[in-house]
Each structure stands twice: as C-alpha cells, then as structure tokens.
Amino acid sequence: MPAWRDAWTRSGQLVLLLDFDGTLAPIVARPEMAEIPRRTRRALDSLMALPGVTVAVVSGRGLADVRERAAIPGIAYAGNHGMEIEGAGLHRIHPEAAAARPELEVVAREIGYVLGAIDGAFVEDKGLTLSIHYRQAAEREAEVRNAVHGAADGRPGLQVTEGKMVLEVRPRVEWDKGRAVLFLLDQMRPPEGAPVLYLGDDRTDEDAFRALASWGASAEGVLIADPLPAESAARSYLRDPAEVGELFEALAAGR
C-alpha cells in the first residue's frame, strides 16, 4: 500500500482496473441480484474525486448489463471479457466475436432445452457470449456439463471455458481480459511509474494478471480469494469484496 501511494504521488496517476462479480460486488445466487455494497461505492466515489485516478471495469458480463449494475459515470467499461468496450471516448466491438452470434443463438436454444429439466440451472445470453449457471444445481453439474459440451463441442467457431460454478460458451477468438487490459492501457497512456492495479477473483482474471506482468514493474494483479489458489499470476491479494472497499478507503485516506 505505501508503495502504491508513493508511486501515485510521484507519477500523478493511479489506474484501477476492476472486475465486477466477486470483486466490486459479492457473488450471489443469480446474476441479476448483484450490486456494489454501499460502503464500497462510497469509498470508490471518494477515491475517484481525488486527482489523477483513472478507473475502468472489466467484466465477463455483457456490456450493457455491467454498465447498468456498476453505474460508475465517466469511465470505460469492457464487457464480455473485453470483446466489447465503450465509454471514456472508446468504442470497440470485436468483429469476429460479433460474427459468431448466429452460431451462439443455436447453441443457446439447444442448451436451454436441456436445462429446462434441471431446476436451478439456466443460460444467460450476453450477446457475444453465453454463461451457463449451475450454482443452485451443483448436484447436477455433470448433466449441465454434458448439455453444454454436447451443444458447443465440434463447432470450430466456439469454445467452452469455466469460471466459479459457471460454464461459458465464447467465440473462438484471440481475445481475453488480458488483451482488453492492454488495449485500455494503450488508450489511457498512464505516465511511466504510475501504479496500475487490476483487481479480480476468477480464472479469467488470470489473463489480466499475466498481461500486466508485461506492462511494467508498477503494474500488478490483486487477487480476491480465500483460500488462495495454489498458483496465481497476481502479486497481492484481498480476501473478499468487502476488503476491496477497505482498500479504496485506505488509498483515499493515504492521500
């Protein structure tokens, strides 16, 4: 923390790249129930009121969804793992991901038909990707996996990835949160030595942690996890989303 504050003072800028679910907002049973706790929002507002603070949200959620739920004005949002980026003068939709939409629609129908018989499992259509949630049907995980892989495997334009109690069907494109983070930093152009912190909690955030390792010594990932995994590319960690709000408070107080 002192090193981050000192680097902020020297460079005049602090960059925060924030995942949403499990980071800004606690994990909940259904995605539409997620929200940023009041304490965290107040702390982030106070931090953003200080000079030189740049914030972006990088999420697996669809762009419109995460923008509505985060509701932080004046920042850039990267939705669908960065396949769509908008805000702060930016607008980018990955063309190959957009072209895969018809194939995703077919897969969504096939998976939805099977999951109709599995109470607690459902498909979230995020436009450029699909999330298949089974947190409330953990005992039937094998059936959910079979349904997803049965519909998506063998389609060369799509791939299946995993998160916390969720499977995702994505376009098979060379793009992830790591590439999205590097794109955002190229646009932000923070001064040399400015602290760049990416906060995230899931496997997909590891791509961003690894990307920051190539950006510079002042950039690092902060993993939100308890217990810690056996391996991570992050250099620091917090235990839960509540501590994310405490981090914002401490950074603001230190200035």
Give me the pLDDT at residue 105, please.
Answer: 96
- Specify the pLDDT at position 121: 96
**Are 163 and 186 members of one domain?**
no
The total number of structural domains that make up the chain: 2
Query: What angle, 0 to 180 degrees and rounded to 10, lies between the N-to-C axes of helices 141-152 and 101-115?
Result: 150
Whole-number pLDDT of residue 47: 97
For residues 10 and 80, membership in a common domain is answered with: yes
Please write the tens of the pLDDT for every residue from 124-162: 999 999 999 999 999 999 999 999 999 999 999 999 999
Whether pLDDT at 254 is above 90: no
pTM over 0.75: yes
Q: How high is the pLDDT of residue 230?
A: 94
**Is residue 199 scored above 80 in pLDDT?**
yes
pLDDT attached to residue 30: 87
pLDDT interval class at 77 (50, 70, 90): very high
CATH code of residue 15:
3.40.50.1000
Q: Which of 6, 19, 153, 205 is catalytic?
A: 19
CATH number at residue 167: 3.30.70.1020
pLDDT recorded at residue 246: 97
Q: Which range marks the domain in which residue 59 is found? A: 2-94+175-254
Is the pLDDT reported for residue 22 higher than 80?
A: yes
- The verdict on whether 207 is a catalytic residue reads no
Average pLDDT over the chain, rounded to an integer: 95
Checking if the pLDDT of 63 tops 80, the result is yes
